[in-house]
Amino acid sequence: MRSRQGLIRLLSVLALMAGLALMTAAYAVSANRPQSPVAHTKSVGTFRAVIDTIDYLDTSQAYTAQSLWALWTVYETLVTYRHVAGAAGYQVVPGLASLPKISRGGKVYTLTLRKGLKYSNGKPIRAADFKCTMKRDFLTASPGVGFYDTIVGAKKFETSLKGDIGGIKTKGRTIRITLTSPRGDFLTILAEPFAALVPCGTANQDLSANPPPASGPYKIGPNPDKNRGFSLVRNKYFKPTKYIPRGTPNRVDVTIVGDADAAVQRVISGQADYTNAAIPPERIGTVSNRGQLRLRKSANTYYFWMNTRVYPFNKLKVRQAVNMAIDRSALVKAVWGGLGVTTENILPPTYPSYRKLTLYKRNVAKARQLINQAGAKGADVTVWGRQVSDSQQSTTLYASYLSAIGLKTTLKFLPRSTYYTTIGNSDTKAQTGWARWLEDYPHPLDWFDVLLNGRNIVHENNNNFAYYSNAKTNRLIDGLKKPPALTPAVNKRWANVEKLIMQQAPWAPWSNRTFPEFFSKNMGCISIQRLYGIDFMKVCRK
């Protein structure tokens, strides 16, 4: 699902295997209704999936879309998302607990665990496990700890790694969480896999090779091909609910194959049921006749950032010129064979806050004029990209557009493992380059607060690559942390923030990508969950 700037730490598969009131209003969820079990669906036996990579199989560390796709069915959070397609998949629903009661001031969340919950090893799931889980995230330097630093005592614990997190109190089945200030996206953050419960006493280290006991419909089990994948098998202690089904596969065998052609061929030849391989655009037509191709829209934005602190991009006219110069349609066609839509927006169109922007009609002649007016003609510009095919293709085209309007460009590509940490270090003074963002959770704060709020710029591992800071938009973003729901009025305010930022042009957004998902001809009941992708829990055979 996801690229998290400066945070994803990829491991090779071999090394890995060896060693509401609040959001109810926002998403129209009926809170605290009685949980009735879903009807059991006929089993499909073993579902065989081929994916291109994973990072971790430990929720404290996992941050790639492929890992989270699997772990979502293994480790349950207090609240979660519905197993449905479309916009309803963004609805926050009860997970291990009821939807919370939220204090009038928006700082205190009180949740109650369901009765009789057990982990896959048969031990009871306890409210105290939530505090242990949060402490473990900090103790293992989880990339998700920043989501939870508004819990009272969390920042102090992060600094000392001693004592307690006083903002989390538990008694019996009750969990009470107190925040330092209201945070309108906190319910969605509770649904992040980083907050999935593991038992107190779980080792404070990466346990991907021997994962903690599961709380969801499946648990991680042995795989016949131990060095190249993992398997999911049923958790006999899991009890389905109205929102969390039992799942149709008895077993899911996941194999990691980095080569897209080889992965697709496994499906065509009957060795696999599904792959998420990045099918080359030129093969889309041929492949679609030999299986079932589904095009998955996800919440992503691909963009070129411009460092507003360094020349020539410290000049507004230069940034506006860049937005007028790039050919968004040509980029989408050249890089993905048309599997995407053009955009000038920060937010993807899947969000209720999205309002289509048309600020920068392509006009190369006008762009050249703006460069001249800014006194930037002939300016030396290093264009940064990542050593992956789509970045290399799009960054090379981007550099050609900059050259066409009078800038003197040099390309610089870095390995995927070091790219974000390098451009996210302020000492690098990177001028402009390629980036993408895929949602952590479905709330505008995941975009604007992380990527474009100047108050959150840091020296290292910075995600605001444009180093954009504007007093007015900073203030507006901070103000929008308080509303407890994404009402139409709040969505309108977010749209205004987005327009104000893009008028300052720190980014040149160009596409929302569509991802190909390939199934064998005998698979049916294919459902795409908006946040996590293909929902294998619902598949069936024709």
User: What band does 38 get if pLDDT is binned at 50, 70 and 90?
Assistant: very low
- Mean pLDDT for the stretch of residues 179-204: 95
Q: For position 63, what pLDDT does the model report?
A: 87
Q: For position 43, what pLDDT does the model report?
A: 65
- Mean pLDDT for the stretch of residues 50-66: 90
Percent of the chain topping pLDDT 90:
78
DSSP letter at 218?
E
- Residues 309, 488: contact at Cβ < 8 Å? no
Nearest to 322 by CA among 302, 301, 306: 306
- Residues 49, 255: contact at Cβ < 8 Å? yes
pLDDT for 77-120, tens place per residue?
Answer: 999 999 999 889 999 999 999 999 999 889 999 999 999 999 99
Architecture per CATH, 13-257+520-541: 3-Layer(aba) Sandwich (3.40)
Q: For position 20, what pLDDT does the model report?
A: 32
User: What band does 64 get if pLDDT is binned at 50, 70 and 90?
Assistant: confident
pLDDT for 314-366, tens place per residue?
Answer: 999 999 999 999 999 999 999 988 889 999 999 999 999 999 999 999 999 99
Helix/strand/coil for 209: coil
Interstrand relation of 432-438 and 300-306 (parallel, antiparallel or unpaired): antiparallel
Q: For position 249, what pLDDT does the model report?
A: 96
3-class secondary structure per residue, 386-398: ECCHHHHHHHHHH
**pTM, two decimal places:** 0.82
**Looking at this protein, which amino acid is placed at residue 533?**
G
Does 134 score more than 90 pLDDT?
yes
- Phi and psi at 300, nearest 5°, equal -145, 155
Percent of the chain topping pLDDT 70:
91
Residues facing 485 on adjacent strands = none
Helix/strand/coil for 359: coil
Q: For position 42, what pLDDT does the model report?
A: 57
Encoded tokens for 309: 């602190």
In DSSP notation, 82-115 reads -S-BGGGGG-EEESSBPPPEE-TTS-EEEEEBPT
Q: For position 26, what pLDDT does the model report?
A: 37
Q: For position 11, what pLDDT does the model report?
A: 35
User: Exposed (0-12), middle (13-18) or buried (19+): which is 111, by Cβ within 10 Å?
Assistant: buried
- Residues 66, 193: contact at Cβ < 8 Å? no
How far apart are the C-alpha atoms of 439 and 351, rounded to whole Å?
11
In DSSP notation, 172-223 reads TTEEEEEBSS--TTHHHHHTSGGG----TT--SS--TTSPPPP-SSEEEE--
Q: For position 286, what pLDDT does the model report?
A: 82
pLDDT for 271-301, tens place per residue?
Answer: 999 998 878 777 887 888 899 999 888 899 9
Q: Assign domain 300-515 to a CATH class.
A: alpha beta
- Residues 501, 316: contact at Cβ < 8 Å? no
pLDDT for 359-409, tens place per residue?
Answer: 999 999 999 999 999 999 999 999 999 998 899 999 999 999 999 999 999
Q: For position 482, what pLDDT does the model report?
A: 87
Q: Where are the domains of the chain?
A: 13-257+520-541, 300-515
CA angle 96, 137, 223 (to 5 degrees): 70
Task: Count Cα atoms within 13 angstroms, Cβ side, for 345.
Answer: 22
User: Exposed (0-12), middle (13-18) or buried (19+): which is 173, by Cβ within 10 Å?
Assistant: middle
- Phi and psi at 528, nearest 5°, equal -110, 110
Q: What is the residue-averaged pLDDT of the chain?
A: 89
Say which residue the tokens 């071999």 belong to. Answer: 14
Does 419 score more than 70 pLDDT?
yes
Q: For position 376, what pLDDT does the model report?
A: 98
Q: Is the peptide bond before 312 cis (omega within 30 degrees of 0)?
A: yes
What are the CA-CA distances from residue 36 to residues 212, 243, 249, 318 (Å)? 28, 9, 21, 58
Does 40 score more than 70 pLDDT?
no
- Residues 196, 215: contact at Cβ < 8 Å? yes
